[in-house]
Each structure stands twice: as structure tokens, then as C-alpha cells.
Structure 1
């Protein structure tokens, strides 16, 4: 499910990127940032599917949560350009933006759950409420 949320996020960003390719001198276009987000989401999603490790879920959490935070922040706050990052204030919640935000939020929660679950798989008797029996030397 984490990978699916990341793939939805990537698909929306790939779909929207061509419409945001206008650049100001000395800045990175919002479309380029969308393409980078899509690439990161695809890589994280594939890694989660292939390995399901703590590191894979940690990357998935970082990608999904950073994208979710960015879309919410730039919808609520008119942040000016920061270095090469353009001003991206957009208070309108159209369908594609809402879909990506829901996928990013769900992906964040699912990645966090996967991270916790993957951590428990790595420890002996992680599901038990009793401490593991120690063998005497």
C-alpha cells in the first residue's frame, strides 16, 4: 500500500510537471521539482516493494512526508522564492493536487507503520510480550 501511494504521487507529479516548466532566470522550475519528486517517489516505491526494509520505509516516509508538508505549506503560506527554489504559493485545491496530497499523507502514515513493523521483524521475539529466554553459556 505504501508503494501504491508513492506511485500515485509520482503519477500526479509527472502529469502536472509540463504545465509548470516556466522558469525565472536563476531559479529551478516548479515542473523540474515535480519531476524530481516523481523520481524520488518511484525509487522509494520500488525499494519498498523489492526489500521492505527499515531503510526502504524510512526513504518512503521522507519522500511522502516532505511532499505532503510542501503541498500543505505552499497552499497555506505565501513563501517567497528561496535561492533557486521558486515561489510556489497556490491556495487552490484542484483534483490532481488533492489526489497527490491524499496519497502523500496516506503514504506517510503507511510508511511509518511499515518502518515500525520492519523494525519489529528484525528483533527476536518482537511480537511477544515476554522477554526472550537467554541461554546460559
Structure 2
């Protein structure tokens, strides 16, 4: 149960940071899909994955949490170090700085990915024993 709570907590922290930051990032592109809207979508995915892990703790739940956490962590790191231009409906999101909220979300995403990975493996082993 502790693994489920910790994994969910990491995802809730990630979601909270993205919800907090979303309005400021959307202001930069109010007409398009905007980074703020992407932040809100990511936050919703994180909350849903966190609730799924809390309620079920299944291999599928941990797999969803792993995908959400790892994809968010990869995005923040890539857009920190690589200047990817806008493509399709997605804005350019290059931001070559670290600040508290961004660092907090990155740490929570990394922790969530590690914890979800552990849960995914453990849930698979538990299923094999039955």
C-alpha cells in the first residue's frame, strides 16, 4: 500500500504544479492549443493515473502511471535542453532554465516513474505467483 500511496503522491504533485503553471503558459499562445492547455491535459492524465494506482494497484494501473510520469519527465528534460520548433498544433516549448516549480515537477515525475516501474514489476511477479 505504501508504494501505491507514494506513486500517487508523486503524480498528484506533478499535476498540482502543472495546474498552477498552466495559466501563465497559455497566455503566451491564447489562440492555439498552447502550452497551458498541454499542461492541463498532462495534469488530468496524472490525476487519473494516480487515482487508478490508489484504487487498483494493478499492473495496468502502474503501467499507466509509468507512461504518464516517464513521458512528462522526458518532455521537461528534452524541452529544457533541446530547442524543438513548433510543429502542427504544438507550440515551441523550449525553456532553457530550471526554476523551483519546474524542478519540483521533474523530481516528482522521475520519482513517479521509478516507483511506478517498481510497482509494475512487483504486480507482475505477484500475478505470476497466483
Give the match's secondary structure for 2:102: helix
Summarize deviations over 1:80-119 as a string: whole Å, max 9, x none.
0011010000011000000000000010000000000000
Query: How big is the shift at 1:24?
Result: 6.3
Counterpart of 2:18?
13
How many equivalent pairs are there? 124
Consecutive unaligned residues in structure 1, runs of 5 or more: 126-137
Structure (1 or 2) with the larger CA radius of gyration = 1
**Alignment correspondent of 2:44:** 39
TM-score, length basis structure 1? 0.88
Q: How does 1:1-137 map to 2 (within 5 A)?
A: 1-22=6-27, 23=29, 27-124=32-129
Return closer, same or farther for 1:24/1:87 CA change in 2, 3 Å cut-off.
farther
Give the TM-score normalised by structure 2: 0.92
Structure 1 segments (4+ residues) deviating >6 Å: none
Take 2:124 and 2:80, find their aligned partners in 1: how far apart are those partners? 34
Aligned partner of residue 79 in structure 1, secondary structure:
coil
Structure with the higher helix share, 1 or 2: 2
Q: Give the alignment's Cα RMSD to 1 decimal.
A: 1.1
Deviation per CA, 1:47-100, whole angstroms, max 9, x where unpaired?
000000011000000000000000000000000001101000001100000000
